[in-house]
Copies of this chain bind each other. A is one copy, B any other.
């Protein structure tokens, strides 16, 4: 197999795009990534998306996005892994180029969650969980995460207020990201006063319902400089899974899917957690940020919240996370999120992140996209290629 690189990135602003359709958003991101890589054609297109069928009454996004992006005729397919769909699409693009069958692949993630009433969206998002054993009990996806957070507080003696550090960091960073949905800081006081959604998860623990699309262009690393002056090597893009239903897990506070995916990625890239300069993790809820840090080997079990309160997660800390807002501040268009994370990592490695959040001298950046409450995890490690 051969090495692959990312040579083009594109993203739409995250927000409520009432005036734009699913295909419009996807096409905008694809064309932006193609422009960035100076390509006019591609051999294959992988579209990450979770809910186009349920919310936009449209399946078959592969061919549709290819057609509307001016790529009619090329290989195209949709890839779905709940909220992990975008990075799952990247994984397929990477495999395709690694195989030698495909020279130029595009991965795009797109989601349009504001198409129907919010109750429809809540029901639709619950399809990331186990329909026959979780959703059937009346559990929404936020309720499942609330059970996890409650359990974490109980087991580790952490208070609800301690989780504020994740939200404060995410919003502080989102301010500087022109593509972020929420560009205003949040204080600990605002966090403490936020409306409860599913106790103990409040509004400011939760990522917002969003629309958006993000895309990358993947090529063989040996040809990367034909397309970009600052190519980024895909050092690893590895998938790990776990049971979909929480109650099938021996220890619900240990995300085995994260552990499997991260370990495979570290091994493949030949680096350890300490060499990761930026970590764009899947903070769909504050509790997921904490559990991800722990299962990825960046914090001992039960210590991630303390780490966050010590400032380790800020752009100047030891383990910067959510540097452009994360899912909480940038927004979480579910099937697009994994590629927003990757695009943000590429910006850091290129030295093109917004000045206030640019992490200095990043050699490796890591993006981790999660489907369900840890059932599908894709960890991508990107490496700066020095000229």
Taking a contact as CB atoms under 8 Å apart, the answer to whether A241 and B62 are in contact is yes
Q: Which residues of B contact A76 (CB under 8 A)?
A: 81, 239, 241, 376
Chain A: interface size category: 35 or more
* Interface hit among A87-95, A161-169, A297-305, A313-321: A87-95
In the bound assembly, the distance between CA atoms of A69 and B80 in angstroms comes to: 19
Tell me which residues from 49 to 73 in chain A have a Cβ below 8 Å from any Cβ of chain B: 50-51, 53-54, 56-64, 66-67, 72-73
The interface residues of chain B lying within 8 Å CB-to-CB of A361 are none
Using a CB-CB cutoff of 8 Å, which residues 228-266 of chain A contact chain B? Answer: 238-244, 248, 256-257, 260
Interface contact A80-B78, CB-CB below 8 Å: yes
Q: With A60-B371, A101-B95 as known contacts, state yes or no: A75 contacts B242, CB within 8 Å.
A: no
Is residue A130 within 8 Å, beta carbon to beta carbon, of the partner chain?
Answer: yes
Contacts of A56 in B (CB 8 A): 131
Q: Are A57 and B127 in contact (CB under 8 A)?
A: yes
Q: Is the CB of B371 within 8 A of A53?
A: no
Which 7 A-B residue pairs are closest in the complex by CB-CB distance? A75-B239, A99-B99, A58-B131, A59-B127, A63-B375, A98-B99, A60-B82
Listed in ascending order, the chain A residues whose CB lies under 8 Å from chain B are 1, 21, 23, 44, 50-51, 53-54, 56-64, 66-67, 72-82, 88, 91-92, 95-96, 98-102, 123-124, 126-132, 135, 238-244, 248, 256-257, 260, 371-372, 375-376
Q: A62-B81, A67-B241 are in contact. List 18 more A-B contacts (CB 8 A).
A: A1-B100, A50-B59, A53-B124, A53-B127, A54-B54, A57-B135, A59-B127, A62-B376, A63-B81, A63-B257, A63-B371, A73-B260, A75-B239, A75-B241, A78-B80, A92-B92, A92-B95, A95-B102
